[in-house]
Amino acid sequence: MTVLRRTVDTPLPLMPAAAVTHSTRSVRRGEIIQVTRGVYASRDAWQTLPPWQQYLARVRAHLLNAPDDVLCLESAAALHGLPVLGAAYDIHVLGSASATARSAGGVRVHTSAHPDRVIEEVDGIRLTSVADTCIDVARTRHPAIALAVADAAARVDERCTALTLVTLNEERASARGRRRARWALHRVDPAAESPLESLSRAVTEWAGFAEPERQVWFGSPAGGGDRVDLWWPQLRIAGEADGLLKYDGRFGDPRVAMKKREDRDRRLRAAGARAVLHWGWDDLTDPNSLIGMLSGAGLPVVASPDTANLHSLAAALRPPRPR
CATH number at residue 281: 3.40.960
Cα-to-chain-centroid distance, residue 166: 19
Question: Do residue 204 and residue 166 come from a single domain?
Answer: no
Question: Do residue 122 and residue 229 come from a single domain?
Answer: no
Question: Do residue 119 and residue 258 come from a single domain?
Answer: no
Q: Which whole-number Å values give the CA distances from 91 to 46, 58, 84, 120, 200, in the listed order?
A: 18, 8, 12, 18, 28
How far apart are the C-alpha atoms of 210 and 92, rounded to whole Å? 37
Question: Do residue 148 and residue 286 come from a single domain?
Answer: no
Residue 1 lies in a domain: no
Edge-to-edge strand order for the sheet containing 39-42?
15-16, 39-42, 32-36
Residue 8 lies in a domain: no
Contact 153, 133 (CB under 8 A): yes
Per-residue pLDDT reduced to its tens digit, 251-264: 567 788 888 889 99
Question: Do residue 59 and residue 161 come from a single domain?
Answer: yes
User: Number of C-alpha atoms within 13 angstroms, CB side, residue 138?
Assistant: 31
Lowest-confidence pick of 3-12, 128-137, 147-156, 172-181: 3-12
Residue 39 lies in a domain: yes
Per-residue pLDDT reduced to its tens digit, 28-61: 888 999 999 999 999 999 999 988 999 999 999 9
Q: Which amino acid is at 262?
A: E
Ramachandran area for residue 289 (φ above 0: left; ψ -120 to 50: alpha; else beta): alpha
Residue 138 lies in a domain: yes
Question: Do residue 245 and residue 173 come from a single domain?
Answer: no
Three-state DSSP state, 209: strand
Asked which of 185, 210, 231 is the last residue of a domain, the reply is 185
Asked which of 148, 164, 185 is the last residue of a domain, the reply is 185
Question: Do residue 32 and residue 176 come from a single domain?
Answer: yes
How far apart are the C-alpha atoms of 112 and 94, rounded to whole Å? 6
Residue 9 lies in a domain: no
Q: What is the pLDDT of residue 68?
A: 94
Three-state DSSP state, 161: coil
Asked which of 163, 185, 207 is the last residue of a domain, the reply is 185
